[in-house]
Amino acid sequence: MSLWFAAQTLFGLSVICFAIYLVTAWSFGQKQEEELNQKAVLVEHLLKEAEKGGDLVFLRHKLDDFFSMQDDVSLSISHAGKQLFQSSPTAGGRWMRRDLVVPWQQSGLTTQLQVQLGVNTAQEARLLERLAWTLLGAVVLGTALVSLTGMWLVRRGLRPLKALAQRTAAMAPDKANRPIDAMDFAEELRPWITQFNALLLRVQRAYVQLESFNADVAHELRTPLANLIGSTELALTRPRSNEELQTVLASNLEEIGRLSGIVTDMLFLSQAERGAPMRTRAVTSLAVQAGDVIDFYDAMLEEAGLRAEVKGDAMADVDAALVRRALFNLLGNAIRFAVPASTIRIEIGVESDDEFAVAVVNRGEPIDPAALPRLFERFYRVAQARDGSTRHHGLGLSIVEAIARMHGGRVFAASQGGETRIGFTVRRSSDRD
């Protein structure tokens, strides 16, 4: 920035000083032209006076008297190649000359006199030279002065940024609870610091979630792996019959299936986070998709003494398989926590001008309001005891959120009045009724 200041100053001062020099040179030129014009008028006047007497000797005396004191003016008069008058100005110098032809009458005859008039411009040339050196010095000194002061001002102005850079370098995701105080810095930096503090807070939350996620992944994978290792080691302690080995393999297969389910769900979530698009899209009835999901859970509903119904319908441009998967997860959760002999409702309706909402509503124990915002976090469970973890590993609602995001929608959850309502939205289809 200091170099740019110096370059701009050098260019600006050079242009200004060059313009001053040109204007001054033009003014001197105009002055010299006016002086030549005045001298020419004077010479013509003297010639006319001498013409009346017709005496060239008188003219020479008069011109000698006049030009003897004019060292900076030269005059030469000739006729028919013969020199009639020649002034004796100072030798050397720089001259600006003009040639004139003046009529002259002598003894009734008119002839032409060749007059050469000159003005010495050496003094103006010296002044212009001094002016040029003065302006050049002004450019150099001005550029140096502005560059040094600019460098000082830039360093002084960037000092808060340097301090801010040192403060931000000392920050870390696990230390975001100590944000930078914006009031310690200039007003221009405060909006940036506020945004940085907000960003650091989001990074801290993501850091905490990542640590929690890693711990949850380790916990979820450790249990089936420990079961696999334990059952295999137990089977190898002594010879086993085919029936016993088949039982061990069946148990191991169940644990492997659980591991496969966790890995499959995590892979799906990873792809959704990277912005994976929907595989297929078609305008379909959301009520039809909900009905298919209820049919799949028919036996489980009957075993739990529950009923399920669909209320409302909408035609939406969606990936039907993904919508069914989201409904599978929501209805499975509702069956687990619904009170017996109650009815689970899948409600479909208009959420806004651009969205349809799909919600699964069940009656049961209310969810703590503090837990509602975390329902869609990976591996999060409202119950701390992780009951039912052999079949449910806490990724179902996270998958629902990913599917809603892939459809340009969002998720929501509410629990009040003995009813829990959890669902998601999708954008309307382009061909709406």
DSSP string, 34-98: HHHHHHHHHHHHHHHHHHHHT-HHHHHHHHHHHHTT-TTEEEEEEETTEEEEE----SSS-EEEE
Sign of CA dihedral 240, 246, 249, 254: negative
CATH number of 188-273: 1.10.287.130
Task: Let me know: does 52 contact 106? Beta carbons within 8 Å.
Answer: no
Task: Let me know: does 51 contact 110? Beta carbons within 8 Å.
Answer: no
Q: What is the dihedral of CA 129, 130, 131, 134, to 10 degrees?
A: 130
* Stretch 84-101: mean pLDDT: 74
427 vs 304: CA distance, rounded Å:
34
What is the structure's pLDDT at 90?
62
Right CATH number for 282-427 from 1.10.10.60, 3.30.565.10, 3.20.20.60, 3.50.50.60?
Answer: 3.30.565.10
12 vs 155: CA distance, rounded Å:
23
pTM: 0.51
Taking alpha carbons only, the member of 421, 396, 427 closest to residue 409 is 427
Give the model's confidence band at 342: pLDDT under 50 very low, under 70 low, under 90 confident, else very high.
very high
Give the model's confidence band at 287: pLDDT under 50 very low, under 70 low, under 90 confident, else very high.
very high
331 vs 301: CA distance, rounded Å:
10
255 vs 225: CA distance, rounded Å:
8
Taking alpha carbons only, the member of 71, 115, 120 closest to residue 94 is 120
**Mean of pLDDT over the chain:** 80
Cα angle value 372/375/376 (rounded, 5°): 130
Beta pairing class for 411-416 and 419-427: antiparallel
Highest mean pLDDT among 243-257, 347-361, 378-392: 347-361
* Stretch 370-393: mean pLDDT: 66
* Stretch 380-387: mean pLDDT: 55
Run of H or E including 144: helix 122-169
* Stretch 300-314: mean pLDDT: 92
Q: Is the predicted pLDDT of residue 152 greater than 90, yes or no? A: no
Collapsing DSSP states into helix, strand and coil, what is residue 116? strand
Of 369 and 52, the structure prediction assigns the larger pLDDT to: 369
Taking alpha carbons only, the member of 7, 13, 12 closest to residue 150 is 7
199 vs 401: CA distance, rounded Å:
23
What is the structure's pLDDT at 3?
78
Task: Let me know: does 166 contact 150? Beta carbons within 8 Å.
Answer: no
Q: Locate tokens 């969002």: which residue?
A: 410
What is the structure's pLDDT at 389?
46
411 vs 375: CA distance, rounded Å:
10
Helix 320-337 × helix 286-296 angle, to 10°: 50
| Tokens at 21, concatenated | 């020099």
Sign of CA dihedral 221, 223, 226, 227: negative
Sign of CA dihedral 251, 253, 254, 256: positive
What letter represents residue 345's amino acid? R
Rg of the chain over all Cα atoms, to the nearest angstrom: 51
Tens digit of each residue's pLDDT (9 = 90 or more) over 263-273: 777 777 777 77
What is the structure's pLDDT at 58?
66
**Helices and strands per DSSP (H, E), number in the chain:** 9, 11
Of 256 and 66, the structure prediction assigns the larger pLDDT to: 256
Which residues partner with 350 through β-bridges? 356
What's the burial of 406, exposed, middle or buried (CB within 10 Å: 0-12/13-18/19+)? buried
Give the model's confidence band at 411: pLDDT under 50 very low, under 70 low, under 90 confident, else very high.
very high
